[in-house]
Structure 1
Amino acid sequence: MTEETSFPDLDKINNQPIDDKYRVAKDLFAGTIGGITQVLVGQPFDTTKVRLQSDTTGQYKNTLDVVKKLISNEGPQGFYKGTLTPLIGVGACVSIQFGVNEYMKRNVFSDFKILSNSQYYQSGLVAGVANSILASPIEHIRIRLQTQLKGNLGPLDIIKNIYKSNGVSGLMKGFIPTAIREGHGMGMYFLTFEYLVKQDILKNKVERKDIPGWKLCLYGAGAGYSMWFSVYPIDVIKSRLQTDSLNKPIYKNMFHVTSTIWKTQGLKGFFKGFIPTILRAAPANAATFYAFELTIRLLG
């Protein structure tokens, strides 16, 4: 029996009835739950990563040094600086990611009984690019909150400061590298997860809803690794742009950032903060996919 005829019904793979008129709303809600879960699990790792990525003075030696200094100077709560913004923002972003990805799978490629790896990648790519419009300003605000060493500005304070200095374009600073990261990153992200799910379904002759939670977590962790290994350098470039001075910026554009990092730090400069990112990838994305899939199952 060939892969194409193992399951003639697309619903067997996606576990979502195509004719459900509330399908989009359910996808978006489940994505929001996944995003909130991702933030709660991954924020400490993300704060550590951003501190390393944006360090241009050499105040941090390595990941452990960031953790020690953050706890010493700001307390454990310092890991959750700027959490409110990502809790709302990332919830919305992940909602878009999953919502658009599911729409692509269900509607754009509806004529295919089982999607190919290329189609899974394309679905994730479109989802990532769509999400980057929202993700870029949210991450800009989040990063400036996370890198505060003195003071305790809130999200609205950060927005006012950015707008006062650079207007709307300032809020969208770093959009191009964000779009590149999100597009290719989400393509790899959803491709990896969906490929692992599809192979499990076809090999074990089960339906998507019957895949146990521990496997969903494992596949989600794999998706997180796949994404970050493929886009990390562009994330460093994005972080440098978004933590640049508002009044006297050092960098002209992403190409200027790239050349500066290469000249001053070489290849290793593009991987600053990589360790906390990879440590975060498994638990944060395992939790994200598990929360999304579980919510979809509960909603029906």
Structure 2
Amino acid sequence: MSKTVKDLTAGTAGGIAQVLVGQPFDIVKVRMQTAPKGTYSGMVQCATGIFRNEGPLAFYKGTLSPLLGVGVCVSIQFGAFEAAKRYFAAQNVARGVGGPEGKLLSPPQLIVAGSLAGLANSVVSGPVEHIRIRLQTQSATAPLYSGPWSAVRNIYGAYGIQGIYKGQVATFYREAVAYGIYFCCYDMLVQWEMKKKNIRREEINPGHSLLFGAAAGYALWGFIYPIDVIKSRMQTDGFSLTDGQKYRSTWDCVRKVWRTEGASAFTRGLGPTLIRSPFANGATFVAFELAIRALN
């Protein structure tokens, strides 16, 4: 099995773990991000309202789309990131840096590799998250879509491919910044552990991989949460002015949210995100590392 196939397979395992662990927190985040100001006093009220009005299964509303889509997304992330790392490692060997195999990459190299992984991933993550958010925020009593395929068919039939890729500009910004930070943080911690204990990557304790993944997740959200809010706003906005569209572009969305709701709107829903992050991201990296070990 080639290295790329192994990376993609292990990335899929990481993506599935991420969705199963993080989905209940994610729906609370999205509801808080996209609701009018004052709808919820906090994440507890939001979560309680979802449970009381829609039942416990509502926390996994729209899960099929991310379970399939995020598996593909994370597979692409890790596949692209590991391919970029191999490219930079070969450059390091030619320059005589980065250790015997050139695998000790510098922070700028890791940031570029992570950003490339995020951009590659965004082609899939944009529509996957758009469909998921549409399902998560639709009315429980009068839903527009019966499921992810219904949403895809209806949106594509009415608005074409542009409708499916609604909010894609914000997605590009988010993924490039987010995954540059995310993968750099994780791999720097891995390199630190390897050098400190003089061990190989596959010898790192899975518990440490869990902690490193949690730290990477916090680093990611600490930098890009406001961009994520804008992405969610764009993806739940109406498709045309006659459908109640509020925002003409990504920057128009930024200006209007700032003007009408203030700076606090850009951190709304951050609580459930920070609670979710260590579990979901820790699970992602542990699943990836264990899958890679099993495949080698």
Same fold (TM over 0.5): yes
**Structure 1 residue corresponding to 2:284, chosen from 283, 288, 293:** 288
Task: Report which stretch shifted further, 150-159 or 69-78.
Answer: 150-159
Distance 2:128 2:109 in 1: 28
Match of residue 39 from structure 1: 19
Q: Offset of 1:286 from its aligned partner?
A: 0.3
Alignment of 1:166-245 (within 5 A): 166-245=159-238
Q: Which amino acid aligns with 1:36?
A: I
Match of residue 116 from structure 1: 106
Distance 1:61 1:161 in 2: 34
User: Does 2:259 align with 1:266?
Assistant: no
**Aligned pair in 2 of structure 1 residues 206, 108: CA closer, same or farther (>3 Å)?**
closer
User: Does 2:46 align with 1:66?
Assistant: yes
Distance 1:211 1:192 in 2: 16
Distance 1:60 1:230 in 2: 24
Q: Indicate if the aligned counterparts of 1:109 and 1:119 stay in contact, CA closer than 8 A.
A: no
Match of residue 275 from structure 2: 279
Q: Offset of 1:241 from its aligned partner?
A: 0.5
Q: Offset of 1:250 from its aligned partner?
A: 1.2
User: Does 2:120 align with 1:130?
Assistant: yes
> Percent sequence identity over matched residues?
46
**Which residues of structure 2 form unaligned runs of 5+?**
93-101
Q: Offset of 1:57 from its aligned partner?
A: 5.7
Match of residue 28 from structure 1: 8
Q: Indicate if the aligned counterparts of 2:88 and 2:109 stay in contact, CA closer than 8 A.
A: no
Q: Offset of 1:108 from its aligned partner?
A: 4.1
Match of residue 144 from structure 1: 134
Match of residue 97 from structure 2: none
Distance 2:186 2:48 in 1: 35
Q: Which amino acid aligns with 1:85?
A: S
Q: Which amino acid aligns with 1:129?
A: L
Distance 1:271 1:225 in 2: 14
**Which residues of structure 1 form unaligned runs of 5+?**
1-20
User: Does 2:58 align with 1:78?
Assistant: yes
Q: Offset of 1:107 from its aligned partner?
A: 2.4
Distance 2:56 2:129 in 1: 22
Please give the per-residue CA displacement for 1:38-95, whole angstroms capped at 9, x wherever unaligned.
0000000000000000102632221111111100011110000000000000000000
Q: Which amino acid aligns with 2:50?
A: L
Q: Which amino acid aligns with 1:100?
A: A
* Partner SS for 2:90: coil
Q: Which amino acid aligns with 1:70?
A: I
Q: Indicate if the aligned counterparts of 1:30 and 1:296 stay in contact, CA closer than 8 A.
A: yes
User: Does 2:246 align with 1:250?
Assistant: yes
After the TM superposition, which segments of 4 or more aligned residues of structure 1 sit over 4 Å from their partners? Answer: none
Please give the per-residue CA displacement for 1:124-154, whole angstroms capped at 9, x wherever unaligned.
0000011111111111000001112224520
Distance 2:188 2:37 in 1: 42
Please give the per-residue CA displacement for 1:253-285, whole angstroms capped at 9, x wherever unaligned.
111111111111211110111011111110000
* Partner SS for 1:115: coil
Q: Offset of 1:111 from its aligned partner?
A: 2.6
* Partner SS for 2:283: helix
Q: Offset of 1:28 from its aligned partner?
A: 0.1
